Amino acid sequence: MASTNIETLLGQLSLEEKVFLLSGVDIWQTQEVSRLGIGSIKTTDGPSGARGKFAVDGPSAAFVPGPVCQAATWSKTQMQDLGRLLCREAKTKAAHVLLAPTICCARNPLGGRNFECFGEDPFLSGSLAVEYIHGVQESGEISATAKHFVANEQEYERFSIDAKISEKALREIYLKPFEMIIRSQSPPDCIMTSYNVVNGEHMDQNAPIIRDVLRGEWGFKGLVMSDWGGTNSTLESLIAGLDLEMPGPPEKRGKILLQAIEGNPTTEVLEALDVSVARVLSLARKFNLLGLSPELAKKSRDREEISSTTKEDTKLMREMAASGIVLLKNSSQTLPLKLENLAGKQVAFIGPNALLGTPGGGGSASMNPQYLSRPMESFKAVAETLGTDLSVKYALGAHALKWLPLFEKDHWASNTSVDTQEKSMVQIEFFASTDLSGPVAETQFRDSSNIDLSDSAPLEFQVDPVPPYSFRVSSSVVPSISGMHSFSLSSVGGSKLFVDGEPVVDNSNWDNPGETFYSFGSAECIRTKFMEAGKSYRVAIEGWVNTDSIAHKSSSDDVNHVFSSNPSVRIGFSQPIPDAETLITEAVALSNESEVTIVVLGLSDEWESEGYDRQSMALPGDQDKLVEALLKRTAQPEKLIFVNQSGSPVELPWIDGVSTFIQAWYGGQEAGNALADVLFGTVNPSGRLPITWPRRYADLPFSSDSQSWPGVDGTVLYKEESQVGYRWYSHQADVQPQWWFGYGLSFTNFTSTISTVSASEDYWTISVTVENSGHLAGQEVVQLYIWQVEQPEERALVGFEKTPTIQPTKTATVGVEIHKRDVACWNENKWVLHKGGYVLGVGTGHEGMVRT
């Protein structure tokens, strides 16, 4: 019988088997050793839900509110409940390891993955991550993976950028949330290293941080894995303490590592090998993947993925999305909407996100949701449940697209699988050649025209190096209007698009890199064709491996990265669209004939994604023009309700003329329902900003200093030191943010007072009394900041709690423990609590601060 004892297994494993255990076998799973009954560990993204093994068009999964929305709840209870939900979801995807949470700190509002983290403050991020991880790992069935360790605050040159950070800033800001979770009672089982370099050393081989700090100083006993394609060395990463290279097939390990060890079998190398193998085996043992029969070990990679979410899970997602919504302006008391005023009236929904909404960001946070609740449709549905009969009409108002839209089912005829009789939007045929010659190797059917093959190519092509192969995507389109229609291609490798056999788009030998496919794809190539309404057109796209393309020569940073190896293609299509002024005129007219106008603006997963940063803080497209026209040309501008959906701040040059403004973030599959709950007052908004909101990007030091952002000659300097977000604004005499970190309004009024302070050796216990002096029940977030008497600009968040629901005229008392270590500063290689007086303040967003 196969052993479950790690020491025994270490003695039985051959050198080759040990080495192969330290790298993935495919994009999501580790290598099994069937001879010894060792099964394969399966991982899954990620930040917005347990997605499973396909980035696009896989089994559906619960699409939870985005991490920045999670953070905006400031709710430790909800974070723990969310962790439990994600544990259950990961099990439906037959996974063992959830690749989340992301706890990097949002350094610059243009960071492409800001939506994927918990905001700018290390204490808030670490505190929420502790609860999240506890929820994920509580049952012992799923492991959490905190990432990206460390200083992955930008996507520009993310595989190679050298982040130069002082020890003080590194300790006080960027390492702190990781330290908090490692030192907690429920540390994560896994840590994922970041792609970037920190102070001259790639993180996968950064021994001073991995070996000395993470493992030595903090005592982390779990597994350290690389980000996908983020292993940059062979022996160096092993010695530094990186246990697992992901994904597979390996690039720096596998046979390369085996040869390196055989050529240099020192005691240091062999001991490091055994230690890392033991960590992989320990994780496998947690999931009962040791002691298997050889047959079960072989089958451990063949697990069915399903989708299953309970009513309780759906309720939590809706509550959490609503709890994260932040009310930022309500000066005319337009909200909550009064049902009696809307009966029999018309409500206008306007804006690029009003109809479809935007549930989440892109990259590893992409999801195939079980369903989506849309802003306008959810508003109508909630109104109906509340017994209000009203009319809702829609106008686009402005475009905010980055690329042509993907195929929509309304325009595309279905393809039917012969084997399963399933109807899908596109059919894909694969060929073991680069010119689509020879027999069809495999046929797939999908419902997305974003054909990402990095994790879904036929198994015979998922090897290293990727062999020559090609594919044909087929579908049929039936336009609803006549005119010039637009098609687009962006691809990794070469691609062409044909309509009824006629070549329309040729992207064969592109030399203009773009931002699709994690910035390994080409820029979008757009061409137009006249098409008649009601006529069916056959559309075919050909794609192939092209080793001569720029993606294989100089794309991004890494010529052999997992995301640049497989040919992939994004296919866009657009019917004729009205010009900008026509869209605005239609929107203004609709607003003027409506009782209330709800304008839903913002970004999307095209603008905020893994792989690239935003180039501007401005709202894309003509959204600003739309808002200015509505404010100027609408008869009653106070009846305009503006909603922004984004994962990070946007510039709002018109905000002073707006009376009602909501930040709704990315709310996942319950985004529309949650927004409706807040608009109608079914939920009293209790979200608070987890980031500071600048008025203008030009106000920030990054705007005029390319060394600080995005970097020069492969190096980015963290010149602001520990002054990130509100800490930087606290030091400015002439620059104020639009809204401070922690800010947020309610439909009622709260007053918070520090009632008692008691001290022990390690912490202070603070009692805060919160009174609801308004007319509606609601929740408040108690935020405690501290600073030295002589240095008021050095204030920092050191404690917070969310109250239970407080009824009007009632009070609630919450207790908050402030650990003295969280007040300390890093000084001369140690944490120091300075002597002298401290000031403690309770308030929201630096406003209404009460001192004691």
Give the residue numbers annotated as catalytic, written as ranges.
227
Residue 408: pLDDT band with limits 50, 70, 90: confident
Instruction: Find out if CATH 2.60.40.10 is the number for domain 750-851.
Output: yes
- Of the candidates 209, 207, 197, 105, the one whose C-alpha atom is nearest the C-alpha of residue 158 is 197
**Cα angle, residue 16 at apex, residues 15 and 17 outer, rounded to 5°:** 95
- Class of domain 1-32+200-287 (CATH, top level): alpha beta
Per-residue CA distances from 280 to 4, 90, 136, 242, 276 (Å): 13, 19, 19, 11, 6
The 10s digit of each residue's pLDDT in 599-617 is 999 999 999 999 999 999 9
Question: Exposed/middle/buried for 758, CB within 10 Å: 0-12, 13-18, 19+?
Answer: exposed
Query: Residue 409, exposed/middle/buried by CB under 10 A (0-12, 13-18, 19+)?
Result: exposed
Mean pLDDT of 446-454: 91
Q: How far is CA 210 from CA 43, 104, 787, in A?
A: 22, 16, 31
pLDDT value at 549 more than 60: no
Query: Is the alpha carbon torsion for 694, 698, 701, 707 positive or negative?
Result: positive
According to DSSP, the residues that pair with 783 across neighbouring strands are 800
List the structure tokens of 772. Answer: 């609801």
Q: What angle do CA 219, 222, 224 make, to 5 degrees?
A: 105
The per-residue pLDDT for 309 is 83
311-324 and 671-679 helices, crossing angle to 10°:
60
Q: Where in the chain is the domain with CATH 2.60.120.260?
A: 412-564
Four-residue CA torsion sign, 550, 553, 556, 560:
positive
Average pLDDT over residues 533-537: 95
CA distance 406 to 413: 14
Query: Which DSSP letter does residue 216 get?
Result: I
Peptide bond into 249 cis (omega under 30): yes
C-alpha distances in Å from residue 712, one per residue of 3, 610, 707: 53, 21, 5
CA-to-CA distance for 17 and 45, rounded, in angstroms?
27
Least confident range of 275-284, 299-308, 446-455, 660-669 = 299-308
Q: Enter the tokens of residue 73.
A: 């709840």
Mean pLDDT of the chain: 94
- Enter the tokens of residue 175: 């390492």
| Residue position matching structure tokens 């046979």 | 255
What is the predicted pLDDT for the residue at 35?
Answer: 95
Q: How confident is the model at residue 849 (pLDDT cuts 50, 70, 90)?
A: low
In the predicted structure, residue 550 carries a pLDDT above the cut 60: no
Residue type for position 55: A
**Confidence check: pLDDT of 759 > 50:** yes
C-beta of residue 68 within 8 angstroms of C-beta of residue 104: no
Given this model, what pLDDT does residue 563 score?
Answer: 77
Nearest in space to 252 (alpha carbons), one of 266, 238, 269:
238
pLDDT tens digit sequence for 131-187: 999 999 999 999 999 999 999 999 999 999 999 999 999 999 999 999 999 999 999
Distance of alpha carbon 449 from alpha carbon 403, whole angstroms: 13
Residue 622 neighbours by CB under 8 Å, 6+ apart: 398, 399, 580, 583, 584
> Sorting pLDDT into bands at 50, 70 and 90, what band is 552?
very low
Please identify which residue in the block is written with the tokens 């216990």: 765
Task: Name the one residue in this structure whose structure tokens are 């190519």.
Answer: 457
DSSP designation for 728 = H
Q: Which is more confidently placed, 674 or 264?
A: 674
pTM for the predicted model, two decimal places: 0.96
Per-residue pLDDT averaged across 1-28, rounded? 95
d(CA 681, CA 269): 62
Q: Let me know: does 770 contact 814? Beta carbons within 8 Å.
A: yes
% of the chain residues with pLDDT over 70: 96
Q: How confident is the model at residue 98 (pLDDT cuts 50, 70, 90)?
A: very high
Question: Is it the case that residue 852 has pLDDT exceeding 70?
Answer: no
Report CA-CA distances (Å) from 755 to 274, 807, 850, 852.
Answer: 55, 20, 11, 9
In this prediction, residue 329 has a pLDDT band, given cuts at 50, 70 and 90, of very high
Q: Grade residue 536 by pLDDT with cuts at 50, 70 and 90.
A: very high
Flag whether pLDDT at 73 surpasses 90: yes
Cβ contact 746:803 at 8 Å: no
Q: What are phi and psi of 443, to 5 degrees?
A: -125, 130
Work out the burial of residue 399: count CB atoms within 10 Å of its CB; fewer than 13 is exposed, 13-18 middle, 19 or more buried: middle
Q: Is the separation of the CB atoms in 490 and 524 below 8 Å?
A: yes
DSSP 619: P
User: In which region does residue 301 sit, left (phi positive, over 0), alpha (psi from -120 to 50) or beta (all else)?
Assistant: alpha
Q: Residue 420's pLDDT is what? A: 43
Residues of the chain with CATH 3.20.20.300: 1-32+200-287
Indicate if the pLDDT at residue 422 is higher than 60.
Answer: no
Higher-pLDDT residue of 769 and 425 is 769
**Residues forming beta bridges with residue 844, ordered by sequence position:** 847
Query: Model confidence over 22-38: pLDDT tens digits?
Result: 999 999 999 999 999 99
For 311-400+579-613+623-729, CATH number out of 3.40.50.1700, 3.30.950.10, 3.40.190.80, 1.10.760.10 equals 3.40.50.1700
pLDDT of the residue at 221: 97
Q: How far apart are CA 796 and CA 591, in angstroms?
A: 44
Residue 287 amino acid letter: F
CB 146 within 8 A of CB 129: yes
- Say if residue 415's pLDDT is above 60: no
pLDDT grade, residue 275 (50/70/90)? Answer: very high
Stretch 681-708: mean pLDDT, rounded? Answer: 97
Three-state DSSP state, 676? helix
Residue 559 has pLDDT above 60, yes or no: no
Tell how strand 660-663 and strand 640-645 pair up: parallel
Residues of the chain within CATH 3.40.50.1700 domain(s) are: 311-400+579-613+623-729
Confidence category of residue 553, pLDDT binned at 50, 70, 90 = very low
Domain span(s) for CATH 2.60.40.10 in the chain: 750-851
Dihedral of the alpha carbons of 463, 465, 470, 475, in degrees to the nearest 10: 50
Question: Does domain 412-564 correspond to CATH entry 1.10.10.10?
Answer: no
pLDDT 10s digits, 124-136: 999 999 999 999 9
More confident residue, 834 or 422: 834
Q: Which residues pair with 801 in a beta bridge?
A: 782
Whole-angstrom Cα distance, residue 767 to residue 324? 25
d(Cα 373, Cα 672) in Å, to the nearest integer?
5
C-alpha span between 525 and 508 (Å, rounded): 10
